[in-house]
Amino acid sequence: EPAGGAAGAPRRLLLGLHLGGVPGSDPLPAAFGFAHPPCVFAQLARLQRELGPEAFPLVPQRFCNRPRGLVSTGT
List the pLDDT tens digit at each of the 75 positions of the chain.
Answer: 445 555 556 777 777 777 888 777 667 667 666 767 777 888 889 999 999 999 999 998 877 777 665 666 655
Q: What is the pLDDT of residue 52?
A: 95
Q: What is the pLDDT of residue 28?
A: 66
Listed by start position, the domains of the chain span: 24-56
Q: What is the pLDDT of residue 1?
A: 44
Q: With contact defined as beta carbons under 8 Å apart, do 28 and 17 qualify?
A: yes
* DSSP code per residue over the chain: --S-SSSSHHHHHHHHHHHTT---SS-HHHHHHTTSHHHHHHHHHHHHHHH-TTTS--------SSGGGG-----
Q: What is the pLDDT of residue 54?
A: 94
CB atoms within 10 A of CB 36: 13
